[in-house]
Amino acid sequence: MIVIETKIKIWVDADASPRPVKEILYRASERTQTVVTFVANQPLEVPRSPFINAVKVGSGFDVADQYIVLHARKGDIVVTQDIPLAAELVAKECLVLSPRGEKFSEEDVRQRLNMRDFMESLRSSGVTTGGPDVFSDKDRMSFANALDRALSQI
């Protein structure tokens, strides 16, 4: 008899993932017995659990992103703030969340890619654009709620 694994997995672009997001994912994976894999190009310490994995990929541009794109499948949940990565995963029909709890759709991703490209052109012409806001308690709560909604749909 062949057993086919059908349960979704959670993939995390972990290099820039805030600590509170990781902690929420640790608890959620245990509670729901959902496998979560943190992918980074540096060593990560994660709790010992049959549901929590860490994968260290080689250094280089977008190596962690490429690993996630290769291994994530339709229906999986992916946590990233990388817009080009989110675009690839939305196209694969993954549910993509930002660490701030925003769900990416095809339309959102296109708009965000356009805005990202526009901001990049401003920066390359010498305009200072600033960075993202500090990760707040509100962001943490938004992420926790978005993850709970996503996990309740499986």
Would you place residue 2 in the very low, low, confident or very high pLDDT band (cuts 50, 70, 90)?
very low
- Domain spans of the chain? 10-124+137-152
Please list the alpha-helical segments (H only) found in the chain. 19-32, 63-71, 83-91, 106-124, 137-152
Average pLDDT over residues 130-146: 89
pLDDT band at 34 (very low <50, low <70, confident <90, very high): very high
Average of per-residue pLDDT values in the chain: 89
- Tens digits of per-residue pLDDT, 69-84? 999 999 999 999 998 9
C-alpha distances (whole Å) from 84 to each of 25, 33, 35, 51, 132 are 23, 29, 24, 27, 17
CA-CA distance, 152 to 126, in Å (whole number)?
45
CA distance 11 to 29: 11
Summarize the confidence of residues 106-116 as an average pLDDT.
73
Q: If we measure between CA atoms, which residue out of 59, 58, 60, 64 comes closest to residue 38?
A: 64
Query: Degrees (nearest 5) of the Cα angle 83, 62, 70?
Result: 90
Question: Topology of domain 10-124+137-152, per CATH?
Answer: Rossmann fold (3.40.50)
**pLDDT tens column, 82-96:** 989 999 999 999 999
pLDDT (mean) for 13-17: 91
